[in-house]
Amino acid sequence: MKQLRKPPKYCQGFEDRHGKVRWYYRRPGFPRVPLPGLPWTPEFMAAYEAAQNGEKLEIAKDRNVPGSIAALVASFYQTSDFKGLSDSTKATYRGIIERFRADHGHRLAKEMQLQHVQNIVAKKADTPAAANNLLRMIHLLMRHAVDLGWRRDDPTRGVRKVRNKTEGFLTWEEEHITAFEAHHKPGTRAHLALSLLLYTGQRRSDVVRMGRQHVRNGVLSITQQKTGQDVHIPLHSDLRVILDALPLDNLSFLVTAQGRPFTPASFTNWFREMVREVTTEENGVKKQVLPDKLSPHGLRKATCRRLAEAGCTPHEIMAISGHRSLAEVTRYTVAAGRKDLAKRAIASLDKKEG
C-alpha cells in the first residue's frame, strides 16, 4: 500500500458535511487560518508560509454582504481571468488580495474613490514593489466591479505607481558564477541548482519541478508554470554530465536535505544561503564574497546575457527563456552589441595610433 505524504507541520484537514475537505493552519498561540487547495500545492504552500510568518490571510466574515469589497473579491475568484492563471500566480494574487480584503472587505465597492486608493498605496511607499503590486490588484478588482455594474468607473485610473529606483534582480556576472562554483564543487546540491538555472534559463518555479521525465533524446522539455509556454532546450554538455551522475531515487533533480521537493519560496531562501556561504578569510575573519542580492532569477538573466554575448538573436533567446515579449530580451542583445562595438572602437583607435 502506498504511504500518503504527511501534510506540513501544524496543518489539519477534515471533511465537512458537504463532503469537501478543508485544511487549516493550527499552531498553538496563533489564530486558525484556512488554507486553499491541497497540501504541497503552490497555492497551499504560499498561504502556509504566510501563516507561519504571522500574516493575516483569514477570509473576511462579511464576504456575502452585497456590493462589499469582500463580495467583490469572492466574485473575482470565479472569473475566467483569475481561473486561467497558473497556480503559482493565483497564490501570489491571493496573498495580496486577501490582505486587502481583511482591511477593507467591510466597505462598499461603489464608495471607493481615487483618494482612498492613493492613501492605501501611499502607506506602502517604503516598499515600492509591494505598493505597485497592490495597486494592480485593486485595479483588477475595480475593473471587475465595473463589469458587474457595481460602479461606473475605475478609481485606480490616475493613481501613479510608486517610483521604484531598483533595476530589478541583479544579473550574475561571470566572476560571480566562477566564485560560486569554486566554493560549491560539482556533486553538491548548490552546484546542481546553479547549473540547472544557468543552463536552462528557467524560473525557479520550473527548475524545482525538473526531473528525468522532462528529458528525452538529450532535450529538456517543460511547460512553464507561470505562462503555460512550452520550451524545448537541448542539454548543454556540462549539464548532461551533471544530470547523468545523479542517483535515480528521486523524481525531481533538486530536493531538500530531507529528500522532499522544494517549493519555489523555500528554494530561493535556501539558494540565498548558498550564496552567503561563499566566503573568504582575512585575518581570521570570514568575509562574504558575493553580493547578497544575487538570486535564482538573476541566473535566468545571466543566461540571457550569455546568449546575447554569443551572438544569439532575440528570437533565439526567447526560444530558450520562454519570454513572450521581444522588448524583454532585446535589451540583452542591445547591451551585448554595444559591448562588441566598444571593443571594435577601441581596437580601431589603438590601430590608428599605432
Of 24-38, 110-124, 196-210, 257-271, the least confident:
24-38
Running DSSP on this structure, what letter comes out for residue 208?
Answer: T
Distance CA 146, CA 154 (A): 7
Query: Rg for the chain (alpha carbons), in Å?
Result: 24
pLDDT in tens, 140-156: 999 999 999 999 999 99
Count how many residues are written for the chain: 354
For the chain, give the percent of residues with pLDDT over 70.
92
Domains of the chain and CATH, by start: 11-148 (no CATH), 174-349 (1.10.443.10)
**Contact call for residues 172 and 294 (beta carbons, < 8 A):** yes
H or E element at residue 219:
strand 219-223
The three cell numbers locating residue 87? 497556480
pTM of the model: 0.62
Distance CA 193, CA 93 (A): 27
Banded model confidence at residue 136, pLDDT cuts 50, 70, 90: very high
Running DSSP on this structure, what letter comes out for residue 211?
Answer: -
Strand partners, 24: 12, 34
H or E element at residue 106:
none
Per-residue burial over 32-48, b if 16 or more Cβ lie within 10 Å, else e, is ebebbbebbbbbbbbbb
Of 62-71, 134-143, 282-291, 303-312, the least confident:
62-71
> What angle (nearest 5°) sits at the alpha carbon of residue 189, between those of residues 187 and 194?
95
pLDDT in tens, 213-224: 999 999 999 999
**Contact call for residues 198 and 302 (beta carbons, < 8 A):** yes
Residue given cell 583607435 in the structure block:
349
